[in-house]
Structure 1
Amino acid sequence: MRMAEGGMASEEYRTFLQQPSGNMDDSGFFSIQVISNALSVWGLELMLFNSREYQSLMINPINEKAFICNYKEHWFTIRKLGQQWFNLNSLLTGPELISDTYLALFLAQLQQEGYSIFVIRGNLPECEAEQILRIMRVQQQQRPRLIGEDEAQTSAGYAFCDEVVDEDEELKRALALSRQDIDVEDEEADLRRAIQLSMQGSQEAGSTGGQKEMLTAEELRKRRQAYFDRYVQLHDQQQQPSQ
């Protein structure tokens, strides 16, 4: 609009239209200068996450409100809505819920991948999602995937919950899964022993009362089948979502 003030038919204006812009393109990319100026309209400012100035503040990431991440010509936002963090990457099939514990690790991983991370400082404008999630939390039932990674994958699912999930309950679930892993390892050890016996052929297995019995092919088959059935059952239990 500024350039057109001198006349849309002017040589300067035609030359300007032919020159590619370094601040935006047709794909939707905007430069950091454009984003910074746009945020300033709302009284917000950007601060480089790994800058000495910001690191000297010693602020825990979970106490911030939002981050903007950039790699090459792709931007995405990590934002706190209510009391929960969400990865709002448009390349995913839906928003990804990020726990407070995982947030710092997630940011560190992005830095290792070459992302530039900017902290948004200031009071973010109110939005409907903020108002709803301030009252109740959500649990993610299904993690989103990258768009195109699995065409059959549906959007991420969420369920509202009236109560906050107790960390002790999460610990109990983790311990239960670890016990299942131990059970599976024990079963695998039994299977290895059975296979070893079958390879030995006439090897005798010790039994109570000083008696000895031969492990026949049919008995070995039954043991393998019993192990397989138990393993499949435990595997199915582990694959079921905990939330």
Structure 2
Amino acid sequence: MDSIFHEKQEGSLCAQHCLNNLLQGEYFTPVDLSSIAHQLDEEERMRMAEGGMASEEYRTFLQQPSGNMDDSGFFSIQVISNALRVWGLELILFNSREYQSLMINPINEKAFICNYKEHWFTIRKLGQQWFNLNSLLTGPELISDTYLALFLAQLQQEGYSIFVIRGNLPECEAEQILRFMRVQQQQRPKLIGEDEAQTKMGFGVEDEVVDEDEELKRALALSRQDIDVEDEEADLRRAIQLSMQGSQAAGSAAGEQKEGQNETLTAEELRKRRQAYFDR
């Protein structure tokens, strides 16, 4: 994991982090992206001027703030697209009719970038494995091939825009190393400041008002629930064992458990108990 470049969140520069994590290096700075944004603004101004510099539409356009960047460090999809074009890379909307008609398995792609509420992050394949390189995480998060499609579908359901990266990504150290080995991850990385946020929120007090950043963190935390879909049968066995232990403990406390008697669970009861186990 140490060979994977992972730029963590600073301010609102997630677009910069998204690009650098995708390219696996410090390729772009805020100055670079601002330059691209200003160039796009100028091109838009020139197109508007073609309709007449004395027109009401042109004067209104000049009074509006830039749609390609703002003071917080946000950059638009146009800026990201132009930045990637420097490397011969292009973006394709994942859920577009044209792309979906190709019926390509996501694991056969090279990378995705995702956007939600003006937050950008990268999902990239390095070697033979996929990694979530979200700058809000404390480190790269390993994503199994089986879970990748589910993860993308869940992001779409939560309102994310997802773009497929097409073209040849620059060679990087992590790609060279992971091409010949596979890594394992014992513990999933947390969101930056997750422990502090939980303490501040009183571990589930519903009355407290949280800002949009914390709402985003909650959404991301939901998308990172600790489920290993490649070992679902093992999870089911643990859930069954847990439900039986719970039943035995409850019966013993009530004095109603008879020696050698087994509790028979319906399929619906087992499903509910398994879901409750995963929810914890």
Superposition TM-score, scaled by structure 1 size: 0.56
2:250 aligned counterpart, secondary structure: strand
2:272 alignment partner in structure 1 = 222
Q: Please say if 1:213 is aligned against 2:263.
A: yes
Counterpart contact for 1:66–1:79, Cα < 8 Å: yes
Structure 1: stretches of 5+ with no match in the other structure: 231-243
Q: Please say if 1:95 is aligned against 2:145.
A: no
Cα offset for 1:4?
17
- Paired residue total: 228
Counterpart contact for 1:47–1:54, Cα < 8 Å: yes
Cα offset for 1:103?
0.1
Cα offset for 1:135?
2.0
Structure 2: stretches of 5+ with no match in the other structure: 1-45, 253-259
Cα offset for 1:78?
0.3
Counterpart contact for 2:89–2:167, Cα < 8 Å: yes
Q: Matched residues in 2 for 1:222 and 1:192: separation? A: 14
2:176 alignment partner in structure 1 = 131
Cα offset for 1:26?
3.3
Cα offset for 1:218?
37
Counterpart contact for 2:137–2:190, Cα < 8 Å: yes
Cα offset for 1:81?
0.6
Alpha-carbon displacement from aligned partner over 1:23-71 (angstroms, at most 9, x marks no partner): 1123332101111111111111100000010011110000000000001
Percent of residue pairs bearing the same amino acid type? 94
2:211 alignment partner in structure 1 = 166
Query: What is the RMSD computed on CA atoms of the aligned residues?
Result: 14.7
Q: Matched residues in 1 for 2:86 and 2:270: separation? A: 75
Q: Matched residues in 1 for 2:212 and 2:67: separation? A: 48
Q: Matched residues in 2 for 1:11 and 1:184: separation? A: 57
Q: Which has the larger radius of gyration?
A: 1
**Which range moves more in the overlay, 44-53 or 144-153?**
144-153
Counterpart contact for 1:84–1:137, Cα < 8 Å: yes
Counterpart contact for 2:151–2:223, Cα < 8 Å: no
Shift of the 153–10 alpha-carbon distance from structure 1 to 2, 3 Å rule, reads same
Counterpart contact for 1:83–1:137, Cα < 8 Å: yes
Counterpart contact for 1:137–1:161, Cα < 8 Å: no
1:153 aligned counterpart, secondary structure: helix
**Which range moves more in the overlay, 140-149 or 60-69?**
140-149
**Which range moves more in the overlay, 81-90 or 155-164?**
155-164
Shift of the 134–15 alpha-carbon distance from structure 1 to 2, 3 Å rule, reads same
Counterpart contact for 1:144–1:155, Cα < 8 Å: no
Cα offset for 1:153?
11
Alpha-carbon displacement from aligned partner over 1:131-152 (angstroms, at most 9, x marks no partner): 1111221111210111111159
Shift of the 205–191 alpha-carbon distance from structure 1 to 2, 3 Å rule, reads farther
2:72 aligned counterpart, secondary structure: coil
Q: Matched residues in 1 for 2:208 and 2:105: separation? A: 25
Cα offset for 1:205?
18
Q: Matched residues in 1 for 2:207 and 2:171: separation? A: 22
Structure with the bigger RCO (C-alpha within 8 Å, sep 6+) is 2
